[in-house]
Amino acid sequence: MSSKILIIGACGQIGTELTTKLREIHGVDNVVASDINTRNLDLVNAGPFVILDAKNFNAIKDCCINNNIDTIYLMAALLSATGEKYPMEAWDLNMNSLFHVLNLAKGGQIKKVFWPSSIAVFGPTTPKENTPQHTICEPTTVYGITKQVGERWCEYYHNKYGVDVRSIRYPGIISHKAMPGGGTTDYAVEIYHEAIKEGKYESFLSKNTNLPMMFMDDAIKATTTIMAAPSEKINIRSSYNLSAISFTPQEIAESIKAEMPNFKISYKPDFRQAIADSWPSSIDDSEARNDWNWSHDFNLRNMTSEMLIQLKKKYKY
C-alpha cells in the first residue's frame, strides 16, 4: 500500500519541489500539502492542500486522522538570518513543530518522519574542512541551536520509542522555483535572479566565503532516497552529513560570467557574514554515501547552466 503523506511547510523553497516529486512517486491524492497560508497558489491548486499551523498539535493531529496520514515531512522552519532577528519565534516554531510530529509518531499514528537539519548545527569550533559526521557542534545561531537540539530529540525518540525518524543536514540549497526565505546561503539563489534581471549583483557575503551548497534536484534526490531506504540501513538517527559542492561568491560569479560575460559582482557583507564564518566550508558525507548510497549529480558549472536556462524562461529573456 502506498503511504499517505503530509508535508508541513509545503509552500517553502524545498517544500514546493518536494511536494511535486512525492506526488510523482506516490500519486497526487496520496500527498497532502500544507502551510500556514496560501502564498504559493500553483502549489495550492495542484492537489490536496490544507492550511495548517505547525505549532498547533491538535490541528496536525486532526489533519492526520482526517486524511489517514502515516508519513510526515516537516519542512516548516525559521532559517538562520530570520532566526537572529526573531530568536524566540525561531525557537518556538522549530522546536514545537518537531515535538508535535515526534509525539504523533510516538503514539503510533505516524509511521515515518522526515525532518531536515542543517550545516548550521556546526559552529566556529568545528573543523572547517571536510567536517566529519561526529564532531564538535557548538552552533552560535538560534537556528543552529534548534537544529542541534532537534537532532538530539530525533535520536532520543528513535532509541526510546522506536520512532522511524530520518534526517539530513542540508547545505545551502539553490533552486529556481520558490525563493528561499531568511537564510544565510540565500545569496547563491538571488545572484542568478539578479544576473538575469539586472546583469549585476551585490553579495551580502564577502568574496572568499566558502560554503557547502547543493542544487535542489540533488536535495530532493537525497530526501526521497533516505526515506525509501530500508530502516536497517539508517544507522544515524540524529542527522546525516550531506554534501555536493562548495563555492565562494567569487566562484559562483565566475561560473555566471562564463555564460554572461558582462555580469558584474560587488560585495557588501552584512550581519550574515558572521553566520557564514561560523559554518564549515566542506562536509564529509561518507556515512550517507555508504549507508544509503547517496551521490550527487550537479557541479557548479551544470547547476549554473540549468539555473540560467530556467530563470531566462521565467523572466522571459
> Which residues are the active-site residues?
143
User: Mask: binding to ligand SER, 176-205, rule CB under 6 A, as x and -?
Assistant: -------xxx--------------------
> Smallest distance from the beta carbon of 216 to ligand SER, in angstroms?
12
Q: Does 213 bind ligand SER (CB under 6 A)?
A: no
Q: What is d(CA 95, CA 74) in angstroms, rounded to the nearest whole number? A: 11
Q: Which is nearer to ligand SER, 167 or 185 (CB)?
A: 185
Closest CA to 18 of 5, 2, 1: 5
Q: Which is nearer to ligand SER, 34 or 184 (CB)?
A: 184
Which parts of 60-99 interact with ligand SER (CB under 6 A)? Answer: 79-80
> Smallest distance from the beta carbon of 119 to ligand SER, in angstroms?
6
Q: What is d(CA 86, CA 159) in angstroms, rounded to the nearest whole number? A: 32
Q: Which is nearer to ligand SER, 92 or 164 (CB)?
A: 92
| Count of residues in contact with ligand SER, rule CB under 6 A | 11
Residue 39 CB contacts under 8 Å (≥ 6 apart), including other chains: 11
Q: Which is nearer to ligand SER, 35 or 116 (CB)?
A: 116
**Do the Cβ atoms of 187 and 249 come closer than 8 Å?**
yes
DSSP reduced 3-state for 312: helix
Q: Does 131 bind ligand SER (CB under 6 A)?
A: no
115, 122, 170, 187: residue in contact with ligand SER (rule CB under 6 A): 170
Spacing of C-alpha 307 from chain mean position = 18
Q: Does 120 bind ligand SER (CB under 6 A)?
A: yes
> Smallest distance from the beta carbon of 268 to ligand SER, in angstroms?
18
Per-residue exposure over 218-237, b if at least 16 CB sit within 10 Å of its own CB, e if not: bbbbbbbebbeeeeeebebb
Q: Is 11 left (phi over 0), alpha (psi -120 to 50) or beta?
A: alpha
Q: Which is nearer to ligand SER, 168 or 196 (CB)?
A: 168
> Smallest distance from the beta carbon of 286 to ligand SER, in angstroms?
21
Determine the angle formed by the axes of helices 249-257 and 300-314, rounding to 10 degrees.
60
225 is written with which cell numbers?
A: 532516497
Please identify the residue of the shown chain whose CB is closest to the bound ligand SER.
183
> Smallest distance from the beta carbon of 83 to ligand SER, in angstroms?
8
161 is written with which cell numbers?
A: 520509542
Write out the residues near ligand SER by the rule CB under 6 A: 79-80, 118-120, 143, 170, 172, 183-185
